[in-house]
Structure 1
Amino acid sequence: MPWTADAIPDQSGRIALITGANSGLGLESARALAAHGATVVLACRSRRKGEAARSELIASVRGGGGLEVLELDLADLQSIRRASQWLADQYGRLDLLLNNAGVMAPPRTLTRDGFELQFGTNHLGHFALTLLLLPLLRGRSDARVVTVTSGAQYFGRIAFDDLAAEQRYDRWAAYSQSKLANVMFALELQERLAADGSGVASLAAHPGLARTNLQPASVAANGSKLEALSYRLMDPLFQSAAMGALPQLHAATAPSARGGEHYGPDQWGGMRGWPTQVRIAPAALDAAQRRQLWEVSETLTGIGR
């Protein structure tokens, strides 16, 4: 029998923070967790969009947990520090962290801190946020960090000699790099948490092909008619955002899920279907590269050292 959101255990009394919670996978994850009693912090770059999502969730989720909006720009380390401090002051604890937000294949752009936008947002932003929030997760029963990647991880390579893509920028290669980095971070975090005897678990998940705002945002940013046509032709393959959110919800809540595991759809080579444990990109299994990525990430963000 497939795992659905109905199988989520009672989340009453638990606090979940979801990045990019105003749309797509993040919004559907927030809907499911709130419906099962969690207090959900909607961490969004735009407060206006976050408030709109909160209003929509309040109207659709009856009798669920609380909903808060937190302004968070993962492309800005100062914003990440402010948001982390707000959560510490407001709640002083955290049970679930869903590193869900992301950008996909824009023209070469830099974050406020000078990082290539995709590596800076998808990986470094979540790296910094997670390390700053770990003190709030430690000591909580069944605390989990779920980092959302994609099937692009299987095509990724970490260009340690050109992480800012100054020598050459290929937007899809940069996206794949950031998604591989997500998995490497999730695995390395689990290794370090286990070595410290922490009860916090780190897992990864990917949605397969899911309809979210990533596709139209990518088309709009690049103005590619060919890309727009490709998405229209592929549309029958895409599943809903609610289905795409199931792997990360399973990783975040299923009693059977364990640290270090990776979840994705079970059909069509991981493109769609119900959540199941799926293979990890071979490149992410290289422990030496994972350690190198961690050390570089500490140096670049100034967090963790």
Structure 2
Amino acid sequence: MTWSFNSIPCQEGRIAFITGANSGLGLDTAYALLSKGATVILGCRNIEKAEQAREKLVDGTGSQTVEVLQIDLSDLENVNRALEKIALKYTKLDLLINNAGVMAPPQTFSKQRLELQFAVNHISHMALTLNLLPLLAKKPGGRVVTVSSGAQYMGKINWEDLQGEKKYDRWKAYSQSKLANVMFALELSERIKAACLDLASLAAHPGLARTNLQSTSIKSNGSWQEAIAYKLINPIFQSSRMGSLPQLLAATNHNAKNGEQYGPRFNFRGHPKICRIAPLALNSDARAQLWSVSEKLIESFVDITQGKKLLSRK
């Protein structure tokens, strides 16, 4: 049976926090959840664009239950301030969608001197998740959906040069960050299971979806070769709206289970189905190593103590 937007169950009473929600997959995900009655928090770096997105969502859905939260995933101190605001306002959270991302920029470092893609795509989302875990665990059925990419299958973790300081390849760094997304989602699912928590961690990838990631990457690198290549393959890209379906299924389908990953039926495009996880992400020792390294990078800036306690419960 084909899973579509009409398959999304009622979301009334649920609170969802989506990062990167002012455009692309995040905006389409917010629209779908709002249309089904959810309260949605738009986590966005640019507050003006976030407000514009909010207006668009209110006009399109008629729902007023959408709020804006400024968050810059390239700065863990900013992430911590955003989390403090959430803690002051909300007593529970039902859904966290780790959606925001950057793709293949020139060599750039975060505020904490981490390679930008590793920082934004993986580290800050892990920080968000572990900090928010107590809110997600307040009521049964909380979910964390981490958005990856087909690049996970080409990714490798460069343990000797994790931040690309010795040698930087923007596409290898991107693939590394997307593999890290899946490794985190799967490791979180295993720790949730071991702690007997009524939570679920799932991954999703959009296939080839037409978002601003591609154009931003081409523009920032000034590559005419990539611009031509993108124009040639652009016709096979599916819409951002279709690309959002895997993460919506992972977030809302009652049959979606902890530890699963969803993607397009035909790998690059199509309605969502369960899909295979990158083989390198199945290595439990590598996942544990990434988790440990990531925790150390996060702990000085974001309080993840309570989340760690929940996951260590036996």
Return the TM-score normalized by structure 1.
0.97
Deviations 1:45-98 (A, max 9, x none): 011110000000111002x46000000111111111111111111112100000
CA RMSD in angstroms, aligned pairs only? 0.9
Residue 298 of structure 1: aligned partner: 295
Residue 26 of structure 2: aligned partner: 26
1:44 and 2:44 are equivalent in the alignment:
yes
Residue 190 of structure 2: aligned partner: 191
Question: Which stretches in structure 1 are left out of the alignment for 5+ residues?
Answer: none
Deviation, 1:164, is 1.1
- Aligned pairs for 1:46-65 (under 5 A) are 46-62=46-62, 64=63
Counterparts of 1:245 and 1:45 in 2: how far apart (Å)? 20
Counterparts of 2:57 and 2:140 in 1: how far apart (Å)? 26
Deviation, 1:139, is 2.7
Residue 13 of structure 2: aligned partner: 13
CA contact (8 A) 1:106 1:218 kept: yes
Residue 80 of structure 1: aligned partner: 79
Counterparts of 1:8 and 1:66 in 2: how far apart (Å)? 18
Return the TM-score normalized by structure 2.
0.95
Deviations 1:183-241 (A, max 9, x none): 00000001111111111100000000000010010011101111111111001110000
Letter in 2 for 1:36: K
Runs of 4+ in 1 over 6 A off after TM superposition: none
Aligned to 2:164, what secondary structure does the other structure show?
coil
Identity between Structure 1 and Structure 2 (%): 57
CA contact (8 A) 1:12 1:65 kept: no
Letter in 1 for 2:248: L
Counterparts of 2:84 and 2:282 in 1: how far apart (Å)? 33
Aligned to 1:271, what secondary structure does the other structure show?
coil
Corresponding residue pairs, total: 302
Deviation, 1:141, is 2.6
CA contact (8 A) 1:36 1:65 kept: no
Residue 288 of structure 1: aligned partner: 285
CA contact (8 A) 2:28 2:240 kept: yes
CA contact (8 A) 2:204 2:250 kept: yes
Structure 1 47/233 Cα, relative in aligned 2: closer, same or farther at 3 Å? same
Counterparts of 1:6 and 1:70 in 2: how far apart (Å)? 28
Question: Which stretches in structure 2 are left out of the alignment for 5+ residues?
Answer: 306-314
Q: Given the alignment, which residue of 273, 276, 281 partners 1:276?
A: 273
Counterparts of 1:110 and 1:145 in 2: how far apart (Å)? 26
- Aligned pairs for 1:246-261 (under 5 A) are 246-261=245-260
1:3 and 2:10 are equivalent in the alignment:
no
Aligned to 1:273, what secondary structure does the other structure show?
coil
